[in-house]
Amino acid sequence: MAEGSGGDVSEFLGQNPDLAQWVDSLREHHETNKQWLLRREFVLRNLEVFPTVQPGTMTPSLDKLLSLSKVWANSVFLGCRYPQPVIEKVNEMAEGITVNEADVCVHKTRGEIVGKGKRPSTSDAESWVKKSKTGPNDTDSKGAERNSGRPAAAAVKSGPPPGAPAEQQPFYNRLYKAVAWKLVSAGGFGPNLDHYEILRTCVESCKASLSCVFVPLKDIPDLPAGCTQKEGQVCELRCQTVYMGTGYGRDECAARAMASKEALKVFQGRKVTVKLCRRRFRGRDVEDLVLLDEQPRSSTLPPALSYPF
């Protein structure tokens, strides 16, 4: 299928029920109907680009097509950043797909988000990230969200449904096994691993994808006062709406690597558990889904850079 959109896609699938059943099995648990219908169209439009794809059979070509579809969807709906050649490729593959402007992630400047006021600064970004994990921190991360097109003043919803941890737990049990085997094959957890690549491949082997949210450190208000400014990026990792880790780095790649390292540390225990926890988001406490291990740790989590609920 190389053309058609919306109703044409549904009509095409109605004429090919076997294909419809197969393609619907590729939907991610966390995708909204709107996001899935557009990513589904991306996959169908590009089947002919990967002639070796056989519906119902996992092949390297299908893995590549699905990965590209997730890159495109993440960049459009979540604001994730990828190398420019990759973005150009997926945008070319998505040519002809109609996306409503209201559904596209809106990138705002600090001035647009928090208005006028004193610009925060810090001389030690690493200490800010560490402090947010180990002690009280009223960091107001309003406006830091980049995986939503909602205005900064939009009301925060009530949070995840009560049964959400139990619904997510089977997926993270599978992911735990995938990560454990991957770390064994890599010789164990260590500083020289490509932590992000290990986490990404394990997540994708479980038919899901990572969501990376980046916020410049200087754009986060209410950092510790009396410090000199230091550039850097803060990255938050989620998978299927569950928070996995936060990391700081000099650029997005370094921040993502540190967040991935923090996330992988959770998988070193005997099991992982999805729990409802309180976090700060836009100046208020919210309930968030968080992946935890059995190790005792501070009840204070880093402030949320994004909030899917």
What are the tens digits of pLDDT across the range 48-104? Answer: 777 777 777 777 888 888 889 999 888 888 878 888 888 888 888 988 888 876 666
Alpha helices (H) in the chain, listed in sequence order: 7-14, 17-24, 33-45, 60-73, 84-93, 110-114, 125-134, 164-185, 195-205, 252-265
Classify 13 in phi/psi space as left (phi over 0), alpha (psi -120 to 50) or beta.
alpha
| Contact (CB, 8 A) for 283 and 220 | no
Tokens of 250: 């000099």
pLDDT at position 199: 92
* pTM, full prediction: 0.52
- 288 DSSP β-pair partners: 277
Q: For the chain, how many helices (H) and strands (E)?
A: 10, 5
In this prediction, residue 101 carries a pLDDT of 67
Beta bridge partners of 243: 238, 290
**Exposed/middle/buried for 17, CB within 10 Å: 0-12, 13-18, 19+?**
exposed
Below-50 pLDDT ranges, the chain:
1-5, 106-125, 128-156, 224, 226-228
Measured distance CA(205)–CA(180) in Å, rounded: 13
Q: If DSSP codes are grouped into helix, strand and coil, which group holds residue 189? A: coil
- Residues 72 and 97: their CA atoms lie apart, in Å, by 11
